[in-house]
């Protein structure tokens, strides 16, 4: 590398007698000695493969710092490969999760040898994807679980996941999970808003400069899916070459969950599509992939694949369903309803948020070990029986209703606390009563105006809030109901708000907050759905 640090890599070639286009894989998870079958596939089709341990991991020298090291190290590695006698100077990059993130970072510099990338379940912004959320809450479960499995001190045996996620103050949770202080965790806590620190590490801030063709793959139940789609939409405004596939998958791309099986058609020939992608850009072959529409999504509910020409879908009609009821929307047995028009008069709904007893995470787009932190679609009725969860539901639908795109919730709310959280979850209710989660989101009250500016609330004042509730593609079938859950926690997917207004990373005091949700003609609380005309 440019600073003298040496990174270890394995090189696999189709033969010893030619120069080849090369696919680079940069991993923090141990390159090992052998080439896995999914990479051997590319060698068998005429590509060299380079698999490298990133800086500070396994056989590579240096100190691991994922927020700063990858652009330069990726660029230096590309230049090294291009100089080798077995390389023809045309390089692609491949891989998922962190192995996808490093592709985005390498692409910042538009290295002339990097002809295409193929990130899988990766996202494109460290703040919004890996550490915080679009609403400013810390992605506690993801971060601590990843560190406990990958960055443990030698000989350290961590307590169970359910224990270390409750560590207070939050600043000590890295030690509880790994047996040592982790600088990356401390830096993230020092910068809870989207400031210059995060912009310096952001691919999102550099998308206009990026010239490398991107074929990305994501899943509706993966934590990076919203970011994957946002990156694609932004890139397509500059160039038409990019492609994306989104399936009904979690982070590991499996097609079966504990409670739900989307069927044998839920898979996709991703490896073949990636081969066509690299053949197009590294071998200058015309391939079927480039003659097809640039977007392929799996529509849940009807469980079918569909090709599209843009994202978000231009034909989507943003449709509001308004909160209604007589002030007793608590639990699934309450009177909360969703209607086509806002009620003229309505009694506000109230609940108490106790961070000592937060609403537990139940599936969804979480990461990264389902044995410890289950992901995907689950029956939400146990969650909906809690009195601190408001439940608003339509009558059974008289015809199918497709929702494909970004979902948002406009909430008129007040709180007794100087800072608190509000959550929203979209649910498909089956005639059997099963309540299947589709997508969700959270807003930290202090970031209601901007992630760049923290602003405390005044007790009892009504605020208009907008919650980014994620993205989905689902047909609510005839006889099903559309449901929305409103609460103030989703733990441990996100950290608990202690409701004190003080810096959360160092807080040890947890206080209850009284929450009020208003829904009348002057306060039209609603969920906004991207409805696709039949």
- Per-residue pLDDT, averaged over 445-466, amounts to 98
| CB-CB contact of 134 with 128 (8 Å) | yes
> What burial class does residue 187 get, using C-beta atoms within 10 Å of its C-beta: 0-12 exposed, 13-18 middle, 19+ buried?
middle
Q: Rounded to 5 degrees, what angle do the CA atoms 309, 314, 319 make?
A: 140
| Token reading at 469 | 């509730």
For the chain, give the longest Cα–Cα distance. 80
The gap between the terminal CA atoms of the chain, to the nearest Å, is: 55
| Token reading at 67 | 């927020």
Active-site entry in 251, 480, 519, 523: 251
Measured in degrees and rounded to the nearest 5, phi and psi for residue 226 equal -60, -40
On the question of pLDDT at 256 being above 90, the answer is no
Beta bridge partners of 483: 393, 427
Active-site entry in 60, 66, 87, 97: 97
Per residue in 158-192, pLDDT tens? Answer: 899 999 999 999 999 999 999 999 999 999 999 99
- Token pair 């829904």 in the structure block, residue: 519
> What burial class does residue 328 get, using C-beta atoms within 10 Å of its C-beta: 0-12 exposed, 13-18 middle, 19+ buried?
middle
Q: Rounded to 5 degrees, what angle do the CA atoms 334, 448, 520 make?
A: 40
**Strand residue runs (E) in 127-228:** 215-219
Per residue in 417-430, pLDDT tens? Answer: 999 999 999 999 99
Active site residue 142: no
Per residue in 313-336, pLDDT tens? Answer: 999 999 999 999 999 999 999 999
Strand order in the sheet with 243-247: 9-12, 48-53, 20-27, 87-96, 114-120, 215-219, 243-247, 295-299, 304-308
Q: Cα–Cα distance between 266 and 82 in angstroms, integer?
A: 38
pTM reported for the whole predicted model: 0.97
pLDDT value, residue 345: 86
Look up residue 194 and give its DSSP letter: -
Active-site entry in 73, 125, 129, 222: 222
pLDDT value, residue 75: 98
Active site residue 216: no
| Token reading at 319 | 């449709």
- Token pair 């396994």 in the structure block, residue: 58
User: What is the H or E stretch that residue 107 is in?
Assistant: helix 98-107
- Per-residue pLDDT, averaged over 389-409, amounts to 99
- Per-residue pLDDT, averaged over 212-235, amounts to 97
Q: Cα–Cα distance between 129 and 331 in angstroms, integer?
A: 31
Task: For each of the domains in the chain, give its residue range(s) and CATH number, in order of start.
Answer: 317-532 (2.60.120.260)
Preceding peptide of 368 cis, ω within 30°: yes
Beta bridge partners of 446: none
Q: Rounded to 5 degrees, what angle do the CA atoms 389, 142, 489 make?
A: 15
Per residue in 107-148, pLDDT tens? Answer: 999 999 999 999 999 999 999 999 999 999 999 999 999 999
Q: Rounded to 5 degrees, what angle do the CA atoms 147, 148, 151 make?
A: 55
Residue 408's CB: how many other CB atoms inside 10 A?
19
Q: Cα–Cα distance between 510 and 192 in angstroms, integer?
A: 19
pLDDT value, residue 240: 85
Active site residue 65: no
pLDDT value, residue 164: 96
Half-sphere exposure of residue 194: CA atoms within 13 angstroms, side-chain side: 23
Confidence of residue 233 (pLDDT cuts 50, 70, 90): very high
On the question of pLDDT at 18 being above 80, the answer is yes
Per residue in 274-324, pLDDT tens? Answer: 999 999 999 999 999 999 999 999 999 999 999 999 999 999 999 999 999
Alpha-carbon torsion angle 368, 30, 178, 371, nearest 10: 30
| CB-CB contact of 140 with 491 (8 Å) | yes
| Token reading at 55 | 């800086």
**Cβ neighbours for 499, distance < 8 A, ≥ 6 positions apart:** 353, 355, 415, 417, 418, 419, 420, 510, 511, 512, 513
Confidence of residue 17 (pLDDT cuts 50, 70, 90): confident
Look up residue 349 and give its DSSP letter: E
Q: Cα–Cα distance between 94 and 104 in angstroms, integer?
A: 11
pLDDT value, residue 344: 87
On the question of pLDDT at 16 being above 80, the answer is no
Helix/strand/coil (H/E/C) assignment for every residue in 468-510? EEEEEEEEECCCCEEEEEEECCCECCCCCCCCCCCCHHHCCCC
Length of the chain: 534
In percent, the amount of the chain with pLDDT more than 90 equals: 96
Per residue in 71-92, pLDDT tens? Answer: 999 999 999 999 999 999 999 9
| Token reading at 416 | 């007794």
**Cβ neighbours for 215, distance < 8 A, ≥ 6 positions apart:** 116, 117, 118, 242, 243, 244, 273, 274, 277, 289
**Mean of per-residue pLDDT scores for the chain:** 97
In percent, the amount of the chain with pLDDT more than 70 equals: 100
Look up residue 239 and give its DSSP letter: -
Q: How far is CA 366 from CA 10, 71, 121, 212, in A?
A: 32, 26, 12, 29
pLDDT value, residue 431: 98
Q: Cα–Cα distance between 217 and 122 in angstroms, integer?
A: 8
| Token reading at 59 | 């056989």
Confidence of residue 439 (pLDDT cuts 50, 70, 90): very high
pLDDT value, residue 166: 98
- Token pair 């009904």 in the structure block, residue: 248
Q: What is the CA radius of gyration of the chain?
A: 24
């Amino acid at each position: 590398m440019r600073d003298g640090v040496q990174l270890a890599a394995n090189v696999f070639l189709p033969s010893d007698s030619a120069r080849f286009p090369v696919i680079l894989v940069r991993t923090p998870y141990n390159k090992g000695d052998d080439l896995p079958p999914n990479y051997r596939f590319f060698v068998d089709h005429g590509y060299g493969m380079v698999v490298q341990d990133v800086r500070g991991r396994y056989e590579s020298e240096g100190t691991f710092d994922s927020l700063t090291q990858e652009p330069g190290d990726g660029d230096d590695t590309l230049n090294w490969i291009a100089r080798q006698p077995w390389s023809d100077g045309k390089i692609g990059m491949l891989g998922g999760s962190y192995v996808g993130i490093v592709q985005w970072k390498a692409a910042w510099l538009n290295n002339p040898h990097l002809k295409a990338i193929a990130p899988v379940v990766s996202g494109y912004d460290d703040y919004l994807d890996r550490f915080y959320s679009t609403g400013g809450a810390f992605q506690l479960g993801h971060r601590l679980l990843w560190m406990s499995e990958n960055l443990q001190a030698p000989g350290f045996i961590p307590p169970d996941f359910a224990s270390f996620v409750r560590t207070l103050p939050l600043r000590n949770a890295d030690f509880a999970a790994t047996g040592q202080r982790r600088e990356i965790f401390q830096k993230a806590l020092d910068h809870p808003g989207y400031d210059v620190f995060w912009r310096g590490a952001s691919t999102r801030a550099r998308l206009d400069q990026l010239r490398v063709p991107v074929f990305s793959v994501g899943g509706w139940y993966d934590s990076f899916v919203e970011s994957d789609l946002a990156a694609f939409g932004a890139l397509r405004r500059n160039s038409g070459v990019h492609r994306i596939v989104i399936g009904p998958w979690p982070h590991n791309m499996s097609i079966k969950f504990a409670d739900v099986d989307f069927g044998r058609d839920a898979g996709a020939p991703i490896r073949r599509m990636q081969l066509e992608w690299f053949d197009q850009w590294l071998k200058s072959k015309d391939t079927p992939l480039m003659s097809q529409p640039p977007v392929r999504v799996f529509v849940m509910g009807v469980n079918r694949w569909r090709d599209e020409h843009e994202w978000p879908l231009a034909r989507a009609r943003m449709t509001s369903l308004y909160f209604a009821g007589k002030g007793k929307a608590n639990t699934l047995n309450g009177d909360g309803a969703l209607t086509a028009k806002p009620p003229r008069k309505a009694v506000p709904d109230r609940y108490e948020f106790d961070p000592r007893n937060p609403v537990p995470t139940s599936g969804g787009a979480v990461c990264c070990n389902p044995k410890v932190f289950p992901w995907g679609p689950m029956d939400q009725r146990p969650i909906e029986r809690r009195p601190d969860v408001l439940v608003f539901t339509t009558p059974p639908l008289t015809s199918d209703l497709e929702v494909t795109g970004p979902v948002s919730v406009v909430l008129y709310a007040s709180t007794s606390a100087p800072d608190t959280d509000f959550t929203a979850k979209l649910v498909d209710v089956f005639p059997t009563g099963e309540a299947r989660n589709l997508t969700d989101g959270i807003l930290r009250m202090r970031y209601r105006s901007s992630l760049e500016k923290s602003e405390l609330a005044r007790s009892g004042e009504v605020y208009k809030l907008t919650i980014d509730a994620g993205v989905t593609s689902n047909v609510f079938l005839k006889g099903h109901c559309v449901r929305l859950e409103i609460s103030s926690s989703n733990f441990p997917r996100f950290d608990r708000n202690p409701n004190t207004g003080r810096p959360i990373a160092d807080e040890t005091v947890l206080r209850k907050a009284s929450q009020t949700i208003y829904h009348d003609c002057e306060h039209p609380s609603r969920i906004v759905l991207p409805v696709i005309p039949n």
